[in-house]
Amino acid sequence: MSEVLTTPARVLVTKIGLDGHDRGSRIIAAYLRDAGMEVIYTSPWQKIEAVVTLAMQEDVDVIGISSLATDHLLVPKLMAALAEADLGHVRVVVGGIVPDEDEGDLLAAGVSEVFHPGAVRDDIVSSVEKFAAEATNARPQD
Amino acid sequence: MNKIDKTGSAAADWQQNYDKMIGQDRVIKNRSGIEVEPLYWPQDDASGTYAEKLGFPGADPMTRGIYPTMHRGRTWSQRQLIGLGRPADFNERIKSILKSGASALSIIPCNSVYRGIDCDEVEPEILGTCGTILNTVEDMDISLKDIPIDEISVGLNDPNPFLMLVQMLIVAENRGIPWTKITGTSNQSDYISHFVANHMFYRLSLPGARRVQMDTITYLAEHVPNWNALSIVGQHMQQAGATPAQAMGLTLSTAIQYAHDCQDRGMDPNKFLERFTFFFDISISFFEEVAKFRAGRRIWNTLVTERFGVTNPRAKRFKFHGQTSGLDLTRQQPLNNIARVTAQAMAGIFGGLQSMHTDGFDEVLSTPSEDSAKIAISTQNILKHEAHLCDVVDPLGGSYYVESLTDAMEEEILKVIGQIDDQGGMYKAVESGFVQEMIGASALEYQDQIDNGEQIIVGVNAYQEEEDASSRPVLKRPPQSHMQAQVERLKEVKAARDPAVLAKGLQDLREAAQSKDLNVFEAELNAVRAGATQGEVIAVLREVLGFGQPLVVA
């Protein structure tokens, strides 16, 4: 298995829960797309089951969850649902307004990284690229 | 003209010195893309145009303010957005905020209410974390316990189809308060802005929302005459990325659309325009915001005269609420946000607003705490009483810079209105995604300026410091047991209803929505009187009028 990622990273950028503020998720989608990744973008209020199904159908490496109003509290449920669906290799990153007290819980639940307001483009892009490569390597062999 | 001749050679001298020291290469543009000169002086003879462009406050073209006295007579309403957890928690908090000097109240419901679902259908982790649960008349009654709703102006963050207003009117009815004494505003009544820019509030399809909005305006004009049924919101569009000039232009285009819709219902612009109010974002781009508000006021004043033949001076008033922009606040060094909010609030005051919300400094970290909400209110009081910002009407009027910038912003705003006119009006321009694309492009452009350091943000891309998280306020969330009790209570309330009465209320609502001529808002009132929850009413309307699926232009 090569260490080098030869196909573009596939990233699902979405919002779960109740909030609909999507300036952040749209900007992130544009960043990742400009960096050459294949971005699957959804409208807000996705159900966890829908995110899992889409991740499977689209064969994504990374899921980016944008949360500005406490919807990040549902991410541990998403992590459990991904594991349940044999998608444990898919990496999840969260961006938006995540209080410090909650960040530890998200990381403990298996989230790869939490991006806060002020995070810069290059850091986000390079992290997602790295996680995508790791996800590809960790993919269950057929 | 003598004046200009006198400054002519002095100006040339200054320009020469300036070029020697700084040169021509330092171009500065504001967020709306207007190039800002290093110095302004009376290059035009302004004396002849004073009456035409500025005039006196309260008289056309109202550039200097919509009332003769402005803040010297009556300052703005201090309207803080609050709402946390259970109705009883909200009630306790609002009493404390009113004691600390707020003069009007504003309610934010839980995000589940914004989405139109009752608390028994929401994942418990996120219930009540952002606002108050308001599913029933009882919830609203508890929220407003001991609050004299016949004496205080109420701002409801209540998107179409306006169930919070329905609940509040029934609370008033039960308390024996005549609806004619109810004053305030439906702050989230602008469904177009929700479709475009704040999807959380977007609950019914575009045509469905348009129908309910018009039914509501018609009903309230007759039965709740002191209620502002329509607040046109530029805030969402600016928060979503529109430049200040674009946000103002798009908002005015939206208002034009709604005014046409009211005319189509046979309403008289001289009457319904009295009740139009606006809601804007106030960014930290200080002079640009002041100019945005002054220009918007002037354009609206002229526009309603030219397009709608308005003669009633009250119907030409550009009344607006301003909220300091959360987007300018930073997670890094969060106490700096108090300084940012102060500068934003000053821009709003000098812009001549009628009502203001100042953000808590911790808004970027979590739902604002009680302490930060008090600081936000104190900021307004300090600016008013200690900094004496309200002593003079339109104190920046006559500044060479501010007047020139007001003209330049006016030109930009009119360009946007022209673009929307060319699209066939705002309704069509959002249906096609034209507006969404415009806003998305501006959002990216501004983010690029931050990423490449062109726009400095203290603590983010300059002046960074190592910080540990202990400097940040600790977050309080409602205990899960409280939320569980709220869910249980809803189940009890639902179980205690008369099923036949409820079924009839919902059936009548369905028929009203299916009909062409029955008033849907009136049917909502009857359904809620029959015991329907907000979730049940919205479910029926979504079924008949269509679910609100925003057009996503990524």
Look at residue B473 in the predicted model and tell me its pLDDT: 60
Q: Which two tokens stand for residue B301?
A: 């004043």
Cα B238 to Cα B234: distance, rounded to the nearest angstrom: 6
Residue B37 carries which DSSP code?
A: P
- The two three-digit tokens of residue B51, written as one number: 């009456």
Question: How does DSSP classify residue B384?
Answer: I
Q: What pairing do the DSSP bridges indicate for beta strands A62-67 and A10-14?
A: parallel
More confident residue, B332 or B73: B332
Tens of pLDDT, residue by residue over B196-251, are 988 889 999 999 999 999 999 999 999 999 999 999 999 999 999 999 999 999 99
Least confident of A83-92, B71-80, B83-92, B342-351: B71-80
User: Is B550:B202 a contact under the CB 8 Å cutoff?
Assistant: yes
B202 contacts on A by Cβ (under 8 Å)? 20
The owner of tokens 């969060």 is B334
Residue B2, pLDDT score:
38
Lowest mean pLDDT among A39-48, B78-87, B356-365: B78-87
Q: CA angle, corner B39, sides to B36 and B44, nearest 5?
A: 95
Give the predicted TM-score (pTM) of the model: 0.90
**In chain A, whose CA is at the least distance from the CA of B460?**
A118
**Residue B539's pLDDT band (cuts 50, 70, 90):** very high
Domain B70-451 has CATH 3.20.20.240: yes
Q: What distance in Å separates the CA atoms of residue B163 and residue B134, rounded to the nearest whole number?
A: 9
Please give the residue that has the higher pLDDT: either B484 or B137.
B137
Judged against a pLDDT cut of 50, whether residue B343 lies above it is answered with yes
| Contact at CB, B199 and A20, closer than 8 angstroms | yes
- Written as one letter, the residue type at A21 is H
Residue B554 binned pLDDT confidence (cut-offs 50, 70, 90): low
Question: Residue A1 has what pLDDT?
Answer: 47
pLDDT at B50: 86
Q: pLDDT value at position B273? A: 96
How far is the C-alpha of B235 from the C-alpha of B257, rounded, in Å? 17
Residues in A lying within 8 Å of B, measured between beta carbons = 17-23, 26-27, 29-30, 41-45, 69-71, 73-74, 77, 97, 99-101, 116-118, 120-121
Rounded to 5°, the CA angle B159-B163-B168 comes to: 115
Residues of B in contact with A49 (CB under 8 A): none
Q: Where are the domains of chain A?
A: 10-135
Give yes or no for residue B109 having a pLDDT over 50. Answer: yes
Q: Does B369 touch chain A (CB under 8 A)?
A: no
Which among A20, A42, A116 has CB closest to B202? A20
The CATH superfamily assigned to A10-135 is: Cobalamin-binding domain (3.40.50.280)
Return the pLDDT at B80. 62
Give 10-residue mean pLDDT values along chain A (142 residues): 69 92 90 95 92 96 93 95 96 93 94 92 95 91 65
Using a pLDDT cut of 90, give the percent of chain B over it: 71
Q: Is A15 in contact with A25 (CB distance < 8 Å)? A: yes
Instruction: Please list every residue in chain B whose beta carbon sits closer than 8 Å to the beta carbon of residue A11.
Output: none
For B384-393, how does the pLDDT look when each residue is reduced to its tens digit (9 = 90+)? 999 999 999 9
**pLDDT tens readout for residues B288-308:** 999 999 999 999 999 999 999
- Alpha-carbon distance of A20 to B180, in angstroms, equals 35
pLDDT digits (tens, 9 = 90+) for B133-169: 999 999 999 999 999 999 988 989 999 999 999 999 9
Write down the residue that tokens 């991904």 correspond to. A82
User: What residue type is assigned to position A9 of the chain?
Assistant: A
- Reference B351, options B81, B52, B62; nearest CA is B62
Q: Where are the alpha helices (DSSP H) in B224-265?
A: 235-240, 244-264
Q: Band the pLDDT of B83: cuts 50, 70, 90.
A: low
pLDDT above 50 (res B532): yes
**Least reliable range by pLDDT among A40-54, B106-120, B279-293, B471-485:** B471-485
Question: How far is the C-alpha of B310 from the C-alpha of B297, rounded, in Å?
Answer: 15
- For residue B51, give the DSSP letter: I
Between the alpha carbon of residue B525 and those of residues B155, B166, B231, B459, B519, the distances in Å are 19, 6, 21, 50, 10
Of B112, B130, B552, the CB nearest to A43: B552
pLDDT value for B312? 97
For B104, the token pair is 């009007």
- As given in the structure block, the two tokens for residue A29 are 């989608």
Residue B74 CB coordination number (10 Å): 11
Backbone angles phi, psi at B375, to 5 degrees: -60, -40
What share of residues in chain B are helix, strand, coil (percent, to 5)?
Answer: 55, 10, 35
Mean pLDDT check: name the lowest of A31-45, B3-17, B414-428, B518-532.
B3-17
> How many whole angstroms separate alpha carbon B219 and alpha carbon B167?
15
Confidence of residue B551 (pLDDT cuts 50, 70, 90): confident
Nearest one of B224, B123, B214 to B180, comparing CA atoms: B224
* Nearby residues of B37 by Cβ (< 8 Å), 6 or more positions away: B404
Closest CA to B381 of B153, B107, B75, B95: B75
DSSP letter (8 states) at residue B35: E
CA distance B451 to chain A (A): 6
